[in-house]
Amino acid sequence: MDTRVISIGTLSANPLWMEREPVRSGHATTTLVRAGNQTILVDPGLPEQAIVARLRERAGIGPEAVTHVFLTSFHPEARRGLAAFTKATWWIGETERETVGVPLAKALAQMHGNEDPERIEDLRLEVAMLRRFQPAPDRLAPGVDLYPMPGVSPGLCGLLLAEQRHTTVIAGDAIPTIEHLEQGKILPWAEDVEQAQEAFKEAVEIADLIVLGRDNMVVNPTKRPF
């Protein structure tokens, strides 16, 4: 198995840096996982041109080599580069797909022709995009399992990578930055705080390495060096 960070993400405003308003363009950490015959790109958060360039820089491949795209959540900052991977299969957690999709479809159905045409078009595009996603299977590839981490969003799912010497969790926004990890904090806009705290705790208990949702891959500070 080959796991590597393609692009380190960032929060538009990091509350643990005392930032209350956006001060940068937020985007998710993008990770590439190659296992068996699968080449899985997780959370392509940068715009299309930028994510393609990072793929070539960090892995020496083009977008056509990506067999699957997986989103930890449907957050806009996790999917800006999707258009570069139209030949890939798109995966997202089933709960995330349903909890996001139903309100989107209802909102679109309730829009009238005399309302904001740009908003109507945005809704149509989001609904069409979400329909393209397939519910992720429990096992995405050999040694790569779906890892539900609900709380920040109702259906947020990470990935659990079981390698010979260590276990890696790709955490998405369930554990966004090194400061959140070290301080045991979750994002303040979590939809279910109790669930988010439990998901955080369980990931820290199981992982040797953690790919943070808006930061780099790090060694779990609660584990001994290996």
Query: In this structure, is residue 226 part of a structural domain?
Result: no
The single-letter DSSP state of residue 87 is T
Residue 225 lies in a domain: no
Residue 123 lies in a domain: yes
Domain assignment present for residue 91? The answer is yes
225 pLDDT more than 60: no
Q: What pLDDT does 226 receive?
A: 52
Range of the domain at 99: 2-219
Inside any domain, residue 131 = yes
- Give domain status of residue 224, yes or no: no
Q: Which pair of tokens denotes residue 177?
A: 């930055």
- Total domain count for the chain? 1
pTM, entire model: 0.91
Distance CA 83, CA 129 (A): 10
Position 223 pLDDT exceeds 80: no
Q: Which two tokens stand for residue 46?
A: 């940068």
> 144: which 2 tokens?
């790569």
Residue 159 lies in a domain: yes
Mean per-residue pLDDT for 93-117? 74
Per-residue confidence band for 113, with pLDDT thresholds at 50, 70 and 90: low
> How far apart are alpha carbons 51 and 58 in whole angstroms?
10
Q: How much helix, strand and coil, in percent to the nearest 5, is found in the chain?
A: 35, 25, 40
For 161-206, the pLDDT digits (tens) are: 998 889 999 999 999 999 999 999 999 999 999 999 999 999 999 9
For the domain that residue 142 is a member of, what is the CATH number? 3.60.15.10
